[in-house]
Amino acid sequence: MKRKERIDVANEAAPEPEKAKRELHVPLAAWITGGVVLLLLTLLCAFAYLYPFVFPGVNVGSIPVGGMNRAAVAEQIRQHSDALYEGQDVSVTIYEATYDIPLEDVLQSVDVEQSVENAFAVGRTGNPFVRVWNIIKAVFGQNRAQIAVGVDGVGLTAALEEISDKALTEPVDPTWEIGTDDIVIYAGKPGVRFDMAAVEQALIEKIRLMDFTSYEVTTDLTDTPEIDIDKIAAEVIGDPVNATVDKKDGTTIIPEKAGVQFDIEQARDIIGDGSAPSYVIPATIQPATVTAEDLRQALFRDTLASCATGLNEGNVPRTNNVRLAAAAINGTILNPGDEFSYNNVVGERTIERGYRSAGAYSGNQIIDEVGGGVCQPSSTLYMAVLRADLEVTQRVNHSFTVSYTPLGEDATVSWGGPDFCFKNNTDYPVKILAVQENGELTMTIIGTKVSDKTVTTRTEVLETRSYQRTTKQDNSLAPGTSRVEVSGITGYATRTYKIITENGETTEVLANTSSYNKRDEVVHVGPAKTPGETAQPGAEETPPTDGTPAENDTVPPETETPPTDETAPSGQPDAPAAGTGGASVDV
428 within domain boundaries? yes
Q: According to the 3-state scheme, what is the secondary structure of 403-434?
A: CCCCCCCCCCECCCCCCCEEECCCCCCEEEEE
**Whole-angstrom Cα distance, residue 408 to residue 411?**
9
Q: What does the pLDDT average to over 458-468?
A: 96
Helix axes 112-121, 70-85, angle to 10 degrees: 120
Split at pLDDT 50, 70, 90, the class of 167 is confident
Q: What is the pLDDT of residue 557?
A: 32
Domain that holds residue 256: 229-298
Q: What is the pLDDT of residue 127?
A: 86
Pair 338, 421 in one domain:
yes
Pair 407, 452 in one domain:
yes
Q: Which burial class, exposed, middle or buried, applies to 213 when counting CB atoms under 10 A from its CB (0-12, 13-18, 19+)?
A: exposed
Of residues 321, 517, 302, the one with CA closest to residue 389: 302
Q: What is the pLDDT of residue 572?
A: 41
User: Above 60 in pLDDT, residue 548?
Assistant: no
Higher pLDDT, 47 or 429: 429
247 within domain boundaries? yes
Pair 329, 430 in one domain:
yes
Q: What does the pLDDT average to over 366-386?
A: 94
Contacts of 68 (CB under 8 A, 6+ apart): 53, 54, 76
**Whole-angstrom Cα distance, residue 355 to residue 324?**
7
Return phi, psi of residue 461, to 5°: -85, 115
Question: What pLDDT digit, counting tens, does each position of 247-284 carry?
Answer: 999 999 999 999 999 999 999 999 999 999 999 999 99
Question: What pLDDT digit, counting tens, does each position of 279-324 carry?
Answer: 999 999 999 999 999 999 999 999 999 999 999 999 999 999 999 9
Question: What pLDDT digit, counting tens, does each position of 3-46 carry?
Answer: 444 445 444 555 555 554 555 566 777 778 877 777 777 777 77
**Whole-angstrom Cα distance, residue 240 to residue 202?**
53
Q: What is the pLDDT of residue 532?
A: 64
Percentage of the chain lying above the pLDDT 90 cut: 52
Question: What pLDDT digit, counting tens, does each position of 64-112 carry?
Answer: 998 899 899 898 888 887 777 777 888 888 877 898 988 878 877 788 8
**Whole-angstrom Cα distance, residue 488 to residue 520?**
5
437 within domain boundaries? yes
138 within domain boundaries? yes
Pair 290, 410 in one domain:
no
Pair 354, 403 in one domain:
yes
Return phi, psi of residue 216, to 5°: -85, 115
**Whole-angstrom Cα distance, residue 128 to residue 337?**
90
Indicate the residue type of 148: A
277 within domain boundaries? yes
Split at pLDDT 50, 70, 90, the class of 155 is confident
Q: What is the pLDDT of residue 543?
A: 46
Average model confidence (pLDDT) across the chain: 84
User: Above 70 in pLDDT, residue 570?
Assistant: no
Q: Which runs of E-coded beta strand occur in 438-553?
A: 440-447, 454-465, 469-473, 482-486, 491-502, 505-516, 521-525
39 within domain boundaries? yes
Q: What does the pLDDT average to over 204-219?
A: 80
Q: What is the pLDDT of residue 514?
A: 97
Pair 290, 307 in one domain:
no
Q: What is the DSSP string of 474-492?
A: -TTSPTT-EEEEE--B-EE
User: Above 70 in pLDDT, residue 584?
Assistant: no
**Whole-angstrom Cα distance, residue 572 to residue 418?**
20
Higher pLDDT, 327 or 198: 327
Question: What pLDDT digit, counting tens, does each position of 381-420 carry?
Answer: 999 999 999 999 999 999 899 999 999 999 999 999 999 9
183 within domain boundaries? no
Return phi, psi of residue 447, to 5°: -170, -135
Higher pLDDT, 171 or 555: 171
